Amino acid sequence: MNNRIDKYHNGFTLIEAMFTVMVLAIAAAGVLVPFSSGAMVRAEGNHRTLGAKLAADLMEEIVKTPFESIVSTYNNYTETQGNVKRTDGVRFSGPVYTKLSRRATCVNVYVPQESGAVSSKYILATVRVYYNGKQIAAVRRLISK
């Protein structure tokens, strides 16, 4: 029986094992990075879709308001972050709404044919939705009498 250990057949050295772990880590990072960036793009898409719906909802409220009251009610209208309300006035709840806010502006628009007119026949309404302070959706509409 030979007690001598053959140095070429006893397994991996520490350096070889560390090199293998490093190569596997680089390969794993190459596979995982596209998935994480894809998740971020998907989340941003979800925020934009929700923002567009919230902007359209507020615009519909503005359009349903009597024409004479639109500017006084909705010019410089603001719903602060986390306080976005449904059409019935109840605040939306849930984690997705905590970073959302809405702003609306409504201004009278005069066309050249109306020069000297006391009241305008048109109102330009703009609704902007923000996610964490960054605009994600906007809707503009010209409303006529």
pLDDT digits (tens, 9 = 90+) for 24-76: 888 888 777 777 677 777 888 888 999 999 999 999 999 999 999 999 999 99
* Residue 2 in tokens: 């030979």
Residue 89 Ramachandran class (φ > 0 left, ψ -120 to 50 alpha, else beta): left
Residue 29 lies in a domain: yes
| Residue at 8 is within a domain | no
Confidence of residue 145 (pLDDT cuts 50, 70, 90): confident
How far apart CA 81 and CA 21 sit, in angstroms, is: 46
Q: Which domain holds residue 54?
A: 14-144
Strand partners, 85: 91
Q: Which of 2-16, 62-76, 108-122 has the lowest mean pLDDT?
A: 2-16
Domain count, the chain: 1
Tokens of 63: 């359009």
| pLDDT class of 117 with cuts at 50, 70, 90 | low
**What is the distance between the alpha carbons of residues 46 and 30, in angstroms, rounded to a whole number?**
26
- Tell me whether residue 2 is in a domain: no
How many helices, marked H, and strands, marked E, lie in the chain?
A: 2, 4
Confirm whether 94 is domain-assigned: yes
Q: Which amino acid is at 25?
A: A
Q: What mean pLDDT do residues 94-119 have?
A: 83
- Tokens standing for 46? 């979800």
C-alpha dist (Å) from residue 62 to 58, 77, 100, 121: 6, 11, 19, 16
pTM: 0.71
